Structure 1
């Protein structure tokens, strides 16, 4: 690896050190020292963002699009070094990091195209009706405007696509909002080199450097200070339910409450309907095992639950999944803490007599091996803990007695990022009963597929009812995510010369 981290924060374009330092904990290779974040650095970054907001919000869509494309170019120019330090820190294979880098640059360019198109502004104009009786109507023009500085928390499982220059940062910068990133301690070197790319792009475009800052590491107080800072106007977060809910509560308790757009994960239930199970249950079982173990199960869309009826077809599905899992070797997890949490989740299942082990493996150190369990629908509905996410390659099969049993199970689900229906032509009636239930439970519903792998596109929704996310009306993936960092402003009888350029 040719890149050697400088170990500093990046505050409004400047490298800034701290009195205290922390060490990275790489899966392989050399550890590096990084400056530790402080409340004072958060304050400095937020003030720089606020100072830059007016000028950045006034930039044209073409200027912001050019910046986004420049950031993508700068990231690609550092591609080999990003892959090298990313694989060292996370244990993810090079091919996965390279693919994620392509997704990261791709969504930056997608947002550039999106804002150039201008449809996201949702411009509306009600012309004046001075002669209307009994009262005249004023001239009314509405447009979406940026909300102000945005805080973004890097994610542990996506060091590129959901972190420093990931989807939240891309959407906020596209909207015209400065960004303060709280880097994730699992991959500080990766965050640093990407931040260097962002700073280089801002400098090249001649924009105010206050529109972007990266604060590394730090205690919980640093994150709390960021979401509570009075100059921060919204928060983008991808992480655990516990951590996300704590930050959400802080945002709501502020003197000026702000929106907290938290994507908190889910178990993403998969329903294997009767005819599909009979026709291709083994095939679906193998596919489920592959999805369940992809990336050591460290995806928020990991399908942790499969629902299938009792009987020979369901048995064949479970048998095929078990056989496929038996062929899966150990995989390195992102951090020691995540590996420990996975072991604790496994222990939670094994402590219940109502849960039957299908295939279990011992856990060692930072590696994960798959585990599979089975229970009944009636048990699942009575035991809330069985529906809590286990971050890793652990699957739970829920056996039902009938189609009506499946519907009752669906009604008892909490909010999810995704749900999936595996169905054949003969399953249409059952699917028709399930679909109205599932659309109230999830942000994305799939047919005959697996939810791991989220397309970055205009129509994508990556969110869902709580606890999958804290705002069911938002998405953290796709161009629709820009709406999180905009608000409508109505201009009544404002002279043409004073209107925003996009309204003239």
Structure 2
């Protein structure tokens, strides 16, 4: 019997139910523990996986919601059966603490079970029926029935910062499988072993549930040609991506340039501005500053919802907030970042602020190797609005305070922000009028608006929106978290005067 509590990677791709070795390999770069060799993906393997996904679509897209729900729950069960092994390989590869991996595993299985429950309810189908009116004058009306149907095979790119919840069996994969779409995952080279063990869990669920083998494939590693081949493969009908602005925009452009353009659902970057209104700053600026420091450095700042910018008025209340944040940041020890590349990018991002005349250093540190230390800078609204580089995301524990002269300048600054995943208001009752003025601006800038909280921590629930105007995401009408995310992989189909016998099962009366 397979011992699921231990795991040694074999380094192969999973393609249509087979573990396939590549001609060349790459070595993982764990934060600690042993390195392992993994096969390098190729365009030929991409083609094989995509063709298998297309073959599987003709069966899987027409499977019952009950069968798909059982499949999603089986994946969750298989992941939980490998809990200890997943935590071990995940912490080795990423340097994330055990508690973080355990929590993320729970979120991953929770997403799968949530979608299983969601599709059984059937509300996502948005079924509509206009009955025939044969006697209507001057023209009769036909019988019209509409339902949401799966779009076809979906490509998913694993994320560097969430080895479980946004990767192999993460939210994009769960939503696509729930919709009835086979999935081809390009694993992230930052955590290939974690990707492999989760793929083993999905493979086991495919076998136990009798699903077509091509419903899921994992391709490891590979250079840019592998990603290009995946998003441009004619069998792929949509792409889910979480990553950098540069990489995501390149893939987005490739999707648009195809003979058949397809939607690219990319989450690319966000600084998640936080606005401190005067009464809140006066009453509890110190506490907000301390809380901001904790959110800013959570997970070494490697969250897409990391609140990198705080907006506060000039004056003693704002000064107290900045001082409290700086003191709290001084007490934060160095943290291991996910990869050497991310650590180097953090240092490069910090260098953009050093030596800038318009930027005042409040707390500066030197980060060495793969470890990161927090940094804090300050500027004013006029300089921020004139210098686009100050608004670019720094992936890591770096914060920027932007000081404003009053309500008008705060409003002007809010209008100057690009699209964001989140925007936060810290307010007390006396700030209501100011907040009422800001909200119409913020709802055009962000997918989620918080009050008196911090955006790190994204609840997986029906009402959650994790997306926003560009560059936060490439499709502002979508979310990558919550049950609404299933809509990305569905399209409406209308059936006119069609007998029940040949209608999709979900439309039969």
TM-score (norm: length of structure 1):
1.00
RMSD after superposition: 0.5
The structure 1 residue matched to 2:362, chosen from 355, 358, 364, is: 358
- Structure 2 partner of 1:71: 75
Alignment of 1:7-156 (within 5 A): 7-156=11-160
- Structure 2 partner of 1:315: 319
Provide the C-alpha distance between the structure 2 equivalents of 1:263 and 1:199, rounded to a whole number of angstroms.
Answer: 27
Q: 1:302 and 2:324 equivalent?
A: no
Q: Displacement of 1:448 after TM fit?
A: 0.1
Deviation string 1:327-380 (CA, Å, 9 cap, x unpaired) is 000000000000000000000011311100000001100000000000000000
Provide the C-alpha distance between the structure 2 equivalents of 1:272 and 1:315, rounded to a whole number of angstroms.
Answer: 12
Alignment of 1:457-472 (within 5 A): 457-472=461-476
- Structure 1 partner of 2:162: 158
| Greater displacement, 351-360 / 244-253 | 351-360
Provide the C-alpha distance between the structure 2 equivalents of 1:110 and 1:2, rounded to a whole number of angstroms.
Answer: 28
Q: Displacement of 1:3 after TM fit?
A: 1.2
Provide the C-alpha distance between the structure 2 equivalents of 1:219 and 1:362, rounded to a whole number of angstroms.
Answer: 31
Which residues of structure 2 form unaligned runs of 5+? none
- Structure 1 partner of 2:267: 263
Q: Displacement of 1:207 after TM fit?
A: 1.0
- Structure 2 partner of 1:449: 453
Deviation string 1:355-412 (CA, Å, 9 cap, x unpaired) is 0000000110000000000000000000000000000000000000001110000000
Deviation string 1:301-337 (CA, Å, 9 cap, x unpaired) is 0000000000000000000000000000000000000
The structure 1 residue matched to 2:179, chosen from 175, 179, 191, is: 175
Provide the C-alpha distance between the structure 2 equivalents of 1:4 and 1:56, rounded to a whole number of angstroms.
Answer: 31
Q: 1:186 and 2:203 equivalent?
A: no
- Structure 1 partner of 2:386: 382
The structure 1 residue matched to 2:332, chosen from 328, 334, 351, is: 328
- Structure 1 partner of 2:347: 343
Provide the C-alpha distance between the structure 2 equivalents of 1:122 and 1:492, rounded to a whole number of angstroms.
Answer: 16
The structure 2 residue matched to 1:231, chosen from 222, 228, 235, is: 235
Aligned residues: 504
Q: Secondary structure at the match of 2:444?
A: coil
Q: Displacement of 1:109 after TM fit?
A: 0.1
> After TM superposition, what 4+ stretches of structure 1 lie above 4 angstroms from structure 2?
none
TM-score (norm: length of structure 2):
0.99
Q: Secondary structure at the match of 1:113?
A: helix
Which residues of structure 1 form unaligned runs of 5+? none
Provide the C-alpha distance between the structure 1 equivalents of 2:72 and 2:398, rounded to a whole number of angstroms.
Answer: 38
Q: Displacement of 1:259 after TM fit?
A: 0.1
Deviation string 1:410-462 (CA, Å, 9 cap, x unpaired) is 00000000000000000011101100000000000000000000000000000
Provide the C-alpha distance between the structure 1 equivalents of 2:460 and 2:87, rounded to a whole number of angstroms.
Answer: 21
Provide the C-alpha distance between the structure 1 equivalents of 2:170 and 2:180, rounded to a whole number of angstroms.
Answer: 16
Provide the C-alpha distance between the structure 2 equivalents of 1:363 and 1:202, rounded to a whole number of angstroms.
Answer: 45
- Structure 1 partner of 2:498: 494
- Structure 2 partner of 1:293: 297
Deviation string 1:220-249 (CA, Å, 9 cap, x unpaired) is 000000000000000000000000000000
